[in-house]
Chains A and B, each alone.
Chain A
Amino acid sequence: MSIITVQIVAAALIGIGLYGALSQQSFVMLMMGLELILNGVMLAAVGFWAYSGTGIPEGQLLTIVVMAVMAIEMALGFALVVAVYRGKQADMTEALEGFKH
């Protein structure tokens, strides 16, 4: 376990999450991709904190902020799903073509 291996695991999580966020049609699966990206970001932040930050507490604070971002993303995402479902009876991103303009 070194900073390189930890960052490679984080990079893999971010890559998989990016694939999911770009490719999934269902809103909830898309949000899972975003969650996976944030998962990798948190792991990378903790890795830097442990190996090259001399243990400064701001490194952990960054992870707490990312956790808050995660909760906000989840709540707002589900509210948007509910709002779109109520308006369009749809749970797929393709249903939002009309919102482009």
Chain B
Amino acid sequence: MSFVDLIFLICGAIAIFSGWRVFCTDSMVRASFFLLISFIAVGVIMLLLGAVYLGVALFFMMAVEMMVMALFMVMFMMNPAGLNPMKMVHQDKFAALAGVVAFFALSAVAVFGDFPDQPRPSDLDPVVTLGKELLGDSMLVFESAGVTLLATMIGVVAMSSHRGRYGDANAGSRPPGLEPGGMPAFSGDQEGSSGGHHHHHH
């Protein structure tokens, strides 16, 4: 067994184990750090496979992303520090079955599939070829991803902002009726609101 094989085995085990621990730990902040460990292990495997740029990009991206996630955990969760036992699941058995079936089906494809044995050439520079592809033939794909990210930013700000340019974000909105044209299930004060700042507690 070579050195690379050993590192791969360790990183693969870390990636799978910490991925599994994400859904077993009591603390949600700890869960996001387990997810970060899983991503870093996958990044190391990418480096071993020769995808230098992607592995390093994964490190940076996930470090920031998991910090944001931990922050949201502290904001929203009742039990961010894991002081109490926590298990918030539904359809647990079905989900576990689906996960196991997905694993075995995909593994069967990996084991019994007939993939062409065409490894990347040893003199290939992955960063140079990726850069030439991104700003060459596949520029449209790359730029589409950029424009999609911009649209996401605008949509996210619109969706999460308190109020728009002309008033509250939910001003004049009415929940859908229980039956077509009927009354909504919850009829709050959509009739009685005559301007001013209301704080809705539903």
**What chain B residues lie within 8 Å of A19 (beta carbons)?**
23, 95-96, 98-99
A28 touching B99, Cβ below 8 Å: no
How long is the Cα–Cα vector from A16 to B23 in the complex, in angstroms?
9
Min distance, Cβ A15 to any Cβ of chain B, angstroms? 3
- Interface set, chain A 62-96, CB cutoff 8 A to B: 63-65, 67-68, 70-72, 74-76, 78-83, 85-89, 91-94
Question: Chain A's interface: helix, strand, loop or mixed, by majority?
Answer: helix
Min distance, Cβ A22 to any Cβ of chain B, angstroms? 4
> Interface residue count for A (Cβ, 8 Å)?
77
From A16, A65, A101, residue with most partner B Cβ within 10 Å: A16
Known contacts A1-B5, A32-B32, A36-B35; A61 and B91 CB within 8 A of each other: no
Min distance, Cβ A74 to any Cβ of chain B, angstroms? 6
Contact with A along B99-121 (1 / 0, CB 8 A): 11011001101110001111111
B96 touching A74, Cβ below 8 Å: no
How long is the Cα–Cα vector from A49 to B73 in the complex, in angstroms?
35
From A28, A51, A87, residue with most partner B Cβ within 10 Å: A28
How long is the Cα–Cα vector from A8 to B160 in the complex, in angstroms?
39
**What chain A residues lie within 8 Å of B152 (beta carbons)?**
71-72, 75-76
How long is the Cα–Cα vector from A38 to B24 in the complex, in angstroms?
20
- Interface set, chain A 8-51, CB cutoff 8 A to B: 8-20, 22-29, 31-33, 35-36, 39, 42-43, 46-51
**What chain A residues lie within 8 Å of B83 (beta carbons)?**
none
Min distance, Cβ A35 to any Cβ of chain B, angstroms? 6
B42 touching A42, Cβ below 8 Å: yes
**What chain A residues lie within 8 Å of B46 (beta carbons)?**
42-43, 46
Contact with A along B164-202 (1 / 0, CB 8 A): 000000100001101000000110000000000000011
Lowest 10 CB-CB distances: which A-B pairs, in order?
A55-B120, A15-B103, A19-B99, A7-B110, A57-B133, A11-B106, A23-B95, A22-B95, A79-B156, A50-B49
Q: List, sorted by A's number, 11 A–B pairs whose CB atoms are closer than 8 Å.
A: A11-B102, A13-B19, A16-B22, A16-B103, A20-B23, A32-B35, A33-B23, A39-B42, A49-B49, A55-B120, A57-B132
Interface residues, chain B, CB within 8 Å of chain A? 4-5, 8, 12, 15-16, 19-20, 22-23, 28, 31-32, 35, 38-39, 42, 45-46, 48-51, 53-54, 57-58, 61, 65, 68-69, 72-73, 76-77, 88-92, 94-96, 98-100, 102-103, 106-107, 109-111, 115-121, 124, 126, 129-130, 132-134, 138, 141-142, 145, 148-149, 152-153, 155-156, 159-160, 162, 170, 175-176, 178, 185-186, 201-202
